[in-house]
Amino acid sequence: MSEQELKALRVRIDSLDEKVLELISERARCAQEVARVKMSTLAEGEVPVFYRPEREAQVLKRVMERNRGPLSNEEMARLFREIMSSCLALEQPLKVAYLGPEGTFTQAAAIKHFGNAVISLPMAAIDEVFREVAAGAVNFGVVPVENSTEGAVNHTLDSFLEHDMVICGEVELRIHHHLLIGENTKTDSISRIYSHAQSLAQCRKWLDAHYPNVERVAVASNAEAAKRVKGEWNSAAIAGEMSANLYGLTRIAEKIEDRPDNSTRFLIIGNQEVPPTGDDKTSIIVSMSNKPGALHELLVPFHENGLDLTRIETRPSRSGKWTYVFFIDFVGHHRDPLVKAVLEKISQEAVALKVLGSYPKAVL
């Protein structure tokens, strides 16, 4: 390609950049106008709702449907996610609590869902995230609920038994683990490897093959593991990219998870119900009488009405010894007539039924 052709292409890119800049600014001004209209129509004492999960999911899906490349659908949606996040911050910056400390996969999930313009606040425990949302100190919370390798996150399920929260969304995050060292680490003298217990389990085979005699130390989070390694010479950490960047660590092995499709699902919790989008999930908690065939009775209405179950977990009930509650996710919204009929049928047989929320399926 000649220098003249390159120059012409660069001029064209500059012109396109100016148009993109003006369109983004116009969108931001429109977002400010939306905020003005919302505030002007509020009744006395009414709290404005600026973030609408169903609206954002619909916009991102439309972007992916209309994308013609060469950028992938996911990459294009990520760009729009950040534009939407920045525009929303002009209306009202969102406060989002997540399971900390800073640098965890849960923070990465929060940013993936809400964008970088939110105010993200780390919490020391999952229960603290629930309490912050319940108290109104933050708008939303982000908590892990299940991993494709290690299964359910029981602390999150148990917190739903103790708190009245609404599930407003979900995030699916591919989990890539790296073996990290600090600038003072002597790689031939590594005697311990820090990580969260689930991460150690997700990398068990790799560790057995490469570091079979090294002590594996479970800590509160992968970010905590990375923080410890930064000040030690004889240790390494298993953590993700955010932790590596935050603490200035070096990767000596990448993507060491045993399963390449290793993913974690996170839930967005809040206090507002989400209207239907046409592509939703619903989560419920059901307590059944402790008798033969109880689980069968619970599942029959789903089967008879063709509702797709996507997850079912069992946890001990707080009401009595050897009694259990079922956490169930299925496709559909609780306002759908068919779903309403199924839930009514279940409630007739159940000791207790609680709808945790209906929310858009994960887009990104």
Is residue 81 classed exposed, middle or buried when 0-12, 13-18 and 19+ CB atoms within 10 A define those classes?
A: buried
Distance CA 262, CA 255 (A): 10
Give DSSP secondary structure letters for 75-93.
Answer: HHHHHHHHHHHHHHHHH--
Tokens of 311: 């997850």
Cα dihedral across residues 198, 126, 264, 295: positive or negative? positive
Secondary structure of residue 143 in the 3-state scheme = strand
What pLDDT, on the 0 to 100 scale, is given for residue 35? Answer: 85
Amino acid at site 231: G
The pLDDT profile of the chain, 364 residues, written as one tens digit per residue, is 688 899 999 999 999 999 999 999 999 999 899 888 888 887 776 766 778 999 999 999 999 999 999 999 999 999 999 999 999 998 878 999 999 889 899 999 999 999 999 999 999 999 999 999 999 999 999 999 998 887 888 889 999 999 999 999 999 999 999 999 999 999 999 999 999 998 999 999 999 999 999 999 999 889 999 999 988 999 999 999 999 999 999 999 999 999 988 899 999 999 989 999 999 999 999 998 878 888 888 999 999 999 999 999 988 877 666 578 899 999 999 999 999 999 999 998 888 899 999 999 998 7
Estimate to the nearest angstrom the gap between the alpha carbon of 145 and the chain centroid.
Answer: 9
pTM assigned to the model? 0.88
Reference 249, options 222, 288, 289; nearest CA is: 222
Domains and CATH numbers, the chain: 178-261 (3.40.190.10), 273-360 (3.30.70.260)
Residues in the chain: 364
Amino acid at the residue 263:
S
